[in-house]
Amino acid sequence: MSADGNGPNLLEVRGLTKIFGSLKACDNVDLTVGKGEIHALLGENGAGKSTLVKMLFGSLEPYSGEICWNGAPVRIGSPSAAKKLGIGMVFQHFSLFEALSAAENIALSLDDQTPISTIAAKAQALSYSYGLPLDPYSVVGDLSVGERQRIEIIRCLLQKPELIILDEPTSVLTPQEADKLFETLERLRSEGKSILYISHRLEEVKRMCDGATVMRHGKVVGHTDPRKETAASLARMMVGSEVHAVVRDAVEGMDKAEPLLEIRNLNRKPATPFSTPLKHISLNVRAGEVIGIAGVAGNGQGEFFEAVSGEVTQQDAGTIRIRGKDCGRLGITGRRLLGAAFVPEERLGHGAAPRMKLSENLFLSRYATDRKAFLAPGGIIKEGAIDSATQRIIEEMDVRKSGRDPEAAALSGGNLQKFIVGRELDRRPTVMVVNQPTWGVDAGAAAKIRQSLIELARSGSAVLVISQDLDELFEISDAIAVMHNGSLSNPLLRAEATFEKIGLLMGGAEPGHADHTVEVV
Partner 1 sequence: MLEQIIITIATAATPLLIAAIGELVVERSGVLNLGVEGMMIMGAVSGFGVALTTGSPWLGVFAAIIVGALFSLLFGFLTLTLVTNQVATGLALTLLGVGLSGMIGETLVGQPGVKLENIYIPGLTELPFVGKLFFGQDPIFYISIVLTFAVAWFLFKTRAGLTLRSVGDNHGSAHALGINVIGIRYLAVMFGGACAGLAGGFLSLVYTPQWIENMSAGRGWIALALVVFASWRPLRVLAGAYLFGAVSIGQLHAQALGIGIPSQLLSALPYLATIIVLVLISRNRRLTMINTPASLGRPFVPDR
Partner 2 sequence: MRIELVKRPQHSALFCALSPFLALGLTLVAGAIMFSLLGKNPFHALYYYFIDPLTGIWDPGNRWQLHELAIKAAPLILIAVGLSVCYMSNNWNIGAEGQFIAGAVVGSIIPVLLPGFQSWIVLPLMLLLGMAGGAAYGAIPAFFKVRFNTNEILTSLMLVYVAQLFNDWLVRGIWRNPEGMSFPGTIRFSEYAILPQIWPDSGRAHWGFVFALVAAVAVWFMMSKTLKGFEVKVLGQSPRAGRFAGFSQARMVFFAFLLSGALAGLAGICEVAGPIEHLNEKISIGYGFTAIIVAFLGRLNPLGIVAAGLILALTYLGGESAQIAIGVSDKAVRAFQGMLLFFVLACDTLIHYRVRIIRAPAVKTGEAAQNA
Q: Which lies closer to partner 1 via its Cβ, residue 75 or residue 400? A: 75
Which residue from 311, 326, 387, 510 is in contact with partner 2, where contact means CB under 8 A?
Answer: 311
Nearer to partner 2, 161 or 300 (CB): 300
Shortest Å, Cβ 379 to partner 2: 4
Among 110, 409, 520, 521, binds partner 2 (CB under 8 A): 409
Segment interacting with partner 2 (CB under 8 A) among 202-210, 231-239, 327-335, 456-464 = 327-335
33 interacts with partner 1 by CB under 8 A: no
How many CA atoms, within 13 angstroms, populate the side-chain half-sphere of residue 411?
Answer: 33
Among 107, 158, 214, 278, binds partner 1 (CB under 8 A): 107
Task: Please classify residue 245 by burial: count the beta carbons closer than 10 Å to its beta carbon, then call 0-12 exposed, 13-18 middle and 19+ buried.
Answer: exposed
Is 60 a binder of partner 1 (CB under 8 A)?
yes
What one-letter code names the amino acid at 469? D
Q: Is 143 in the site for partner 1 (CB under 8 A)?
A: no
Q: Rounded CA gap, 327 and 323, in Å? A: 10
Residue 19, beta-bridge partner list: 24
Indicate which of partner 2, partner 1, none lies near residue 304 (CB less than 5 to 8 Å, by partner kind): none
The C-alpha atoms of residue 278 and residue 266 are separated, in whole angstroms, by 7
Determine contact, residues 381/363, Cβ cutoff 8 Å.
yes
Q: Which is nearer to partner 2, 204 or 370 (CB)?
A: 370
Q: Considering CB distances under 5 to 8 angstroms, the limit depending on partner class, which of partner 1, partner 2, none binds residue 311?
A: partner 2
Q: Does 352 bind partner 2 (CB under 8 A)?
A: yes
Is residue 137 involved in binding partner 1 (CB under 8 A)? Answer: no
- Taking a C-beta distance cutoff of 8 angstroms, is the pair 105, 155 a contact? yes
Is 516 an interacting residue with respect to partner 2 (CB under 8 A)? no
Report the site for partner 1 in 2-31 (rule: CB under 8 A). 20
Under 8 Å between Cβ of 353 and 360: yes
- State yes or no: residue 354 binds partner 2 (CB under 8 A): yes
Say how many residues touch partner 2, by CB under 8 A: 43
* 263-302 residues near partner 2, rule: CB under 8 A: none
Q: Which of 98, 316, 346, 395 contacts partner 2 by CB under 8 A?
A: 346
108, 373, 493, 514: which one binds partner 1 (CB under 8 A): 108
d(CA 413, CA 441): 6
Within 38-84, strands assigned E span 38-42, 64-69, 72-74
Q: Which is nearer to partner 2, 289 or 306 (CB)?
A: 306
Nearest to 298 by CA among 498, 80, 144, 503: 144
Cβ burial of 416 (10 Å; 0-12, 13-18, 19+) is buried
CB 397 within 8 A of CB 419: yes
The rounded distance, in Å, linking the Cα atoms of 163 and 142 is 30
DSSP bridge partners of 131:
none
Alpha-carbon dihedral 154, 160, 162, 168, rounded to 10 degrees: -10
Residues in the chain: 521
Asked if residue 449 lies in contact with residue 418, where contact means CB atoms within 8 angstroms, the answer is yes
Find the binder of partner 1 among 253, 273, 379, 511 (CB under 8 A).
Answer: 273
For partner 2, the binding residues (CB under 8 A) are 21, 61-66, 75, 77, 309, 311, 331-333, 336, 342, 344, 346, 349-356, 360, 363-365, 367-368, 375, 378-381, 402-403, 406-407, 409-410
For partner 1, the binding residues (CB under 8 A) are 20, 58-61, 78-80, 91, 94-100, 104, 107-109, 113, 272-274
